[in-house]
């Protein structure tokens, strides 16, 4: 065999023994679907912000497009929910006798909790309900739970108009504290996004979670002081169970409800660490939720 032929054979033999991964790396090739670095992923997500907004808006519009009253349901839905809960807890169970301005107290709790409940529940299904979109197009998958969060924020803005109107009608004055309402909602939105991202990954790979989630949310609802005052409810507990009050007040949903009640209802006194709790949960949920979701970026929609 001539020297050039021997060199070619050696080169072919070397390539054959080299792993495909090493060969691809040596030539600058990478997987078609690979998890990008976290900073680059954030940059990609920011570049898709218009898609997130458009997708959320289109979902809200299509949600009521087949009904006769159309978008008017965005106002009617929170009003009807408030009426049902007031009938059950304010009239039948007579909770209003122990709480000043129970109407505003109850409706604030219902609207604020519903914002978190619907965002987290929607986020848990955001991947499994959009597999065709995920498999057809390449985009940061976090855009989907983010879009669900924006959709619920748009719905909340209508609910807040109803809530503010009801609060004023019940005799509450307009105060400077109302200027902090956007801050409280921003903290809650931040928490909702983090929790939604976390649950999006859980829901994508543990499909049974979508069946369990309604029961989890219902338990969370009754543990968050939506219909009652937490200090009054636990006041009769023995001293050995005093920690129950702290656990309930450290609940993130309860913290955001208490914040909004404090801003809207002049006679309401929230736990002294309500703002601290709200800020902690917002930062903690966003950091952990975003990181946890990003870690499985290349796995969504596969299998």
How many alpha carbons lie under 13 Å from residue 71 in its C-beta half-sphere? 9
The predicted structure's pLDDT at residue 245: 73
CB 77 within 8 Å of CB 67: no
Residue 19 has pLDDT above 80, yes or no: no
Residue 250 has pLDDT above 90, yes or no: no
Look over the chain and give the mean of its residue pLDDT values, rounded to a whole number: 84
**Closest CA relative to residue 128, chosen from 11, 282, 303:** 303
Exposure of 122 by Cβ count < 10 A (0-12 exposed, 13-18 middle, 19+ buried)? Answer: buried
The pLDDT > 70 percentage for the chain reads 84
The predicted structure's pLDDT at residue 46: 94
Residue 24 has pLDDT above 70, yes or no: no
3-class secondary structure, 272 = coil
Give the residue-averaged pLDDT of 33-62. Answer: 89
Question: What residue has token string 């669900």?
Answer: 148
The predicted structure's pLDDT at residue 303: 56
Higher local confidence (pLDDT), 158 or 194: 194
Residue 204 has pLDDT above 80, yes or no: yes
The predicted structure's pLDDT at residue 244: 75
């Amino acid at each position: 065999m001539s020297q050039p032929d021997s060199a070619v054979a050696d080169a072919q033999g070397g390539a054959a023994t080299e792993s495909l991964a090493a060969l691809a790396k040596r030539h600058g090739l990478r997987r078609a679907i690979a998890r990008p670095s976290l900073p680059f992923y954030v940059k990609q997500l920011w570049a898709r912000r218009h898609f997130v907004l458009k997708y959320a808006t289109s979902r809200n519009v299509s949600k009521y497009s087949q009904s006769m009253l159309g978008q008017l349901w965005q106002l009617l839905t929170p009003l009807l929910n408030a009426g049902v809960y007031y009938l059950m807890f304010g009239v039948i169970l007579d909770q209003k006798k122990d709480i000043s301005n129970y109407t505003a107290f109850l409706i604030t709790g219902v609207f604020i909790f519903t914002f978190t409940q619907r965002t987290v529940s929607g986020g848990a299904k955001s991947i499994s309900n959009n597999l065709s979109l995920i498999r057809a197009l390449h985009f940061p998958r976090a855009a989907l739970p983010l879009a669900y969060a924006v959709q619920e924020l748009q719905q909340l803005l209508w609910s807040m108009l109803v809530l503010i109107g009801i609060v004023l009608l019940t005799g509450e004055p307009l105060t400077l504290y109302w200027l902090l309402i956007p801050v409280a909602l921003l903290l809650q939105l931040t928490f909702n996004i983090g929790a939604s991202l976390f649950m999006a990954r859980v829901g994508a790979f543990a499909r049974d979670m979508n069946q369990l989630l309604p029961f989890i949310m219902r338990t969370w609802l009754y543990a968050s002081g939506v219909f009652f005052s937490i200090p009054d409810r636990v006041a009769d507990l023995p001293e050995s169970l005093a920690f129950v009050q702290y656990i309930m007040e450290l609940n993130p949903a309860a913290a955001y409800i208490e914040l909004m009640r404090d801003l809207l209802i002049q006679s309401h006194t929230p736990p002294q660490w309500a703002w601290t709790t709200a800020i902690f949960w917002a930062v903690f949920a966003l950091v952990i939720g975003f990181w946890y979701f990003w870690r499985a970026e290349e796995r969504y929609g596969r299998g």
